[in-house]
Amino acid sequence: MVKKEYRSRAFWRIAAVWTVLTMSAVTPLSALADGPGGSSSSASAVSVGIAGPGAESGQGPLPTVTEDYPTIESTVHAGEAVPTVGGGTGTGTAASSAAVSSEIAKPEISSEAAALYDVTHGQFLFEKNSGTRFYPASITKVMTALLAAENLNPDQTVTVSEAAVSNLESGAVTLDVKAGDTFRAGDVLYGMWLKSANELANVLAEAVSGSVSSFVGKMNARAAQIGATGTHFANTNGLNDSNHYTTAHDYALITAEAFRNSTVQKVASSLHYTFPATGTQGSQYLTMGHKMLNPASAYYYENFIGGKTGYTSKAGNTLTSVAEQNGVRLVAVVLKSSGTHYPDTRKLFDYGFAAVQSSAQNAANSSQSGESGSQGPGAGQVSGPGASGSSDANAGSVIGSRWVEETAGVWKFLKKDGTYAASETLRIKDHYYTFSADGRMVTGWQNGDGYWRYYRSEGSMRTNVWIQSGGLWYYVGETGVMLTNTVTPDGYTVNEEGVWVP
């Protein structure tokens, strides 16, 4: 009976996620290459993660890894030049981002989980338990605000329903609005963020989707689109719920995406706001809860842009924060803190900006010393598009390992020996990436060693997840291999071609 009930819940969970994605017209996460059961018509398919106990490992091995890169020097984007030791450039296709310098001591973080994300260069500079699930508390409202900003006109009128103000747990922060009150959507957004008013998150949700439950589906679909695969929302505001969780890594990505929206950034950067009067109470003067924005606070941070606070009895203190210095934007997230969330965030920002500056200076110094014949780290000639070995007057020794964007969206990986990864799989920051014979990072379905595996649009191999392709469902296990002729961890049968059999 227990197994039957579990399988039933799992089925409706898949059905619910798929319904949300199709009815909400969500942009697909990635176009899937032809794979098992797939065809060119599967280009609009969506991959959906289902939380489960973990896949069977007997269906195939992990891919063979030729090299392991726990860290990388930098990320290099299209149109810029790969810096080399020797005074020239390597491929002529990309430029170095600032990397984490080994000369800068990593901060001691007391919070149970933390992540520091360099938005400018697209890389994580620091992570502590960043893949472990924790309750987010009110930083949940960052996602609520993003969807509201994307779907509502700030001047449109929204009406408070009885459902929006009901069933909030005891002690939940509110602005005490009443059913029947009407506001501008923009006022509600400011009130939700600055006061962290829980009922206003529900008001925005109903304005966007008609109901809180439908809006929560949009939240989960948007999180998946961003790449936050370890996150699941169960409500709009972050109040305690065992099925409402995130990771520090995920919430750094979510925050970075939210702050690309000009409306969200404007709200999150506002120290004060006057919330309008209603029929039962006067106007309310609100002050931003995030203390790093307030010059009068001991926690004020000069380069701070904005952020969101959170706290519940189960989540502890949570904090997501954005700062920018010399054109470099960083996102810091701390979860499950016991009062150290502000000092921890300051440590992360100070470390990140110092590391970026140090690495940029080291790269410049190495380039200058190379002009006088000095050899630097990563000796060896560049092998890749635009390079011609030692006969190229501009070729030199590549400074460390790095991602290189050959053209927009086409990525290669420059290894520590100065050659590009090709016809191999690398483990980079604990994720598996596979490269074709011409050195390009693969995505979608791949079968290079007799086993089907699926790679995200950003390149990392997926594990323990359902994949929808060509109208059919497949499951990839903990080694990344598509399961066949077996029962999946959540109780479903897949046939010899890996297809779920209803």
Catalytic machinery residues: 138, 141, 196
- Closest by CA to 206, choosing from 166, 163, 156, is 163
Confirm if 267 and 292 have CB atoms less than 8 A apart.
Answer: no
Q: CA 86, 88, 91, 94: dihedral to nearest 10 degrees? A: 110
Residue 162, token pair as written in the block: 């009885």
Residue 428's alpha-carbon distances to 67, 68, 250, 402, 413, in angstroms, are 9, 6, 18, 10, 10
**Owner of token pair 């929302």:** 233
Collapsing DSSP states into helix, strand and coil, what is residue 268?
A: helix
Element (H, E) at 322: strand 316-325
Which DSSP letter does residue 496 get? T
Which DSSP letter does residue 168 get? P
Residues facing 75 on adjacent strands: 403
Return d(Cα 433, Cα 436) in angstroms, integer: 10
Residue 88, token pair as written in the block: 């020239």
**Alpha-carbon 381 to chain mean position:** 34
Count of alpha carbons within 13 angstroms of residue 143, beta-carbon side: 34
Residues facing 71 on adjacent strands: none
Confirm if 88 and 395 have CB atoms less than 8 A apart.
Answer: yes
Which DSSP letter does residue 482 get? B
Q: How many CB atoms lie within 10 A of CB 285?
A: 10
- Closest by CA to 411, choosing from 433, 444, 387, 394, is 433
Q: How many CB atoms lie within 10 A of CB 469?
A: 24
Return d(Cα 499, Cα 93) in angstroms, integer: 41
Return d(Cα 30, Cα 229) in angstroms, integer: 14
Q: DSSP secondary structure string, 420-468?
A: B--SEEEEETTEEEEE-TTSPBP-EEE-SSSS-EEE-TTSPBP-SEEEE
Q: Is 291 annotated as a binding residue?
A: no
**Owner of token pair 């891919």:** 63
Q: Strands 123-128 and 397-398, how do they pair? A: unpaired
**Owner of token pair 């701070």:** 304
**Alpha-carbon 151 to chain mean position:** 21
Residue positions forming the annotated binding site: 308
Residue positions forming the annotated binding site for substrate: 308
